Amino acid sequence: MTLASTPSAASGSHAHAHHGYITDKDKYLNRLKRIEGQARGIHKMVEDEKYCIDILTQISALTSALEAVALGLLDDHLRHCVVDAAKLGGADAEAKITEASQAIARLVR
């Protein structure tokens, strides 16, 4: 059974001992906390009926912050999970490459 064929693959359940981002987990968590704060700030701006362009500027900043997190996670995934699977070869390697390609496609939409 390959990772691409299992429903749990998308949720992160697999045989890999740890994820590539684990060494930067605190950095990611801190960045995500700041992103949460940005989203709450945008919510408040709408509640307070702030100027549309100011809200759009903040949404753009939030989008950029999320993209930076996504690109960092993708880089970690490629450097660890995909490289590890490629070294082993076989169906698991193909599944990891396919999975990474699909993730990239979702990011660039």
Taking only the tens place, the pLDDT of each residue in 43-79 is 999 999 999 999 999 999 999 999 999 999 999 999 9
Taking only the tens place, the pLDDT of each residue in 19-33 is 767 778 999 999 999
Enter the pTM of the model. 0.75
- Which of residues 5 and 65 earns the better pLDDT score? 65
- The DSSP-derived string for the chain is --GGG-GGGTTT-SS-SS-GGGGGHHHHHHHHHHHHHHHHHHHHHHHTT--HHHHHHHHHHHHHHHHHHHHHHHHHHIIIIIHHHHHH-HHHHHHHHHHHHHHHHHHH-
Q: What is the pLDDT at residue 17?
A: 52
* 5: confidence class by pLDDT, cuts 50, 70, 90: very low
